[in-house]
């Protein structure tokens, strides 16, 4: 954990930007070049160094305006962290919570940007596996950037896995069984698009019977459409 005004290497911590299941992100100042950056500090610092490097290496293998850019990865004072571009703005989740349904023009605009980012990742053989509005940043100019590739994997590895990864409201049926394919990300985009159009999720929490049917891959009509 870092604290405000703490100096680690050439970075001075300015504030905390948020924390998720896999790490905490801080706003920091690169004092050498006087530029704001985002530092992501994984919670599990005791992992093998090669495991810690998976996310920054995946990000570094991609270059797309709709994917957050990784600048470097460092280890200072026995703390590993990823240095990324700082996107001033808010998450898509925050926008939906504030504005509700976004309307068709904005929904189509954001969906196209998400699809462009995911298409670029898929062409590189990379699955995100946790696409959701909270992992999508909106710049002050309206540019959307997909972030949080901490759960991402190469297709061959993800398709053979057994660990359940993702956020349940956005997870495709196969992800409940620990499997993931390209279509899993597309499913998550569909749920996100639904949420942008309506201001709410198809399911807040799926009923047990519906969840079992979803896990079997059966079609389940969202209760709000019945």
Please tell me the number of Cα atoms within 13 Å of 25 on its side-chain side: 18
Residues 148-186 as b or e (16 or more Cβ within 10 Å = b): bbbbbbeeeebeeeeeebbbebbbbbbbbeebbebebbe
Residue 119 among the catalytic residues: no
Long-range pairs, 29-37, Cβ under 8 A, ≥24: 30/83, 31/7, 36/86, 36/88, 37/11, 37/71, 37/83, 37/84, 37/85, 37/86
Nearest to 131 by CA among 190, 172, 188, 179: 188
User: Catalytic residue among 48, 99, 109, 130, which?
Assistant: 130
Catalytic residues: 130
């Amino acid at each position: 954990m870092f604290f405000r005004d703490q100096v680690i290497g050439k970075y001075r911590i300015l504030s905390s930007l948020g924390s998720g299941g896999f790490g905490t992100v801080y706003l920091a100042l690169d004092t050498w070049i006087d530029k704001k950056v985002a530092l992501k500090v994984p919670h599990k610092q005791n992992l093998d160094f090669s495991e810690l490097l998976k996310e920054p290496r995946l990000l570094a293998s991609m270059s797309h305006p709709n994917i957050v850019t990784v600048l470097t990865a460092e280890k200072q004072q026995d703390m590993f962290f990823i240095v990324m571009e700082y996107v001033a703005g808010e998450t898509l989740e925050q926008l939906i919570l504030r504005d509700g349904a976004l309307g068709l023009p904005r929904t189509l605009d954001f969906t196209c940007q998400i699809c462009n980012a995911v298409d670029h990742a898929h062409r590189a053989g990379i699955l995100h596996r946790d696409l959701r509005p909270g992992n999508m940043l909106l710049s002050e100019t309206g540019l959307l950037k997909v972030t949080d590739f901490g759960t991402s994997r190469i297709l061959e590895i993800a398709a053979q896995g057994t660990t359940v990864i993702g956020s349940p409201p956005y997870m495709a049926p196969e992800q409940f069984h620990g499997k993931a394919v390209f279509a899993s990300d597309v499913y998550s985009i569909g749920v996100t698009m639904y949420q942008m159009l309506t201001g709410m999720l198809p399911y807040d929490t799926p009923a047990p019977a519906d969840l079992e049917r979803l896990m079997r891959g059966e079609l389940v009509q969202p209760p709000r459409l019945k």
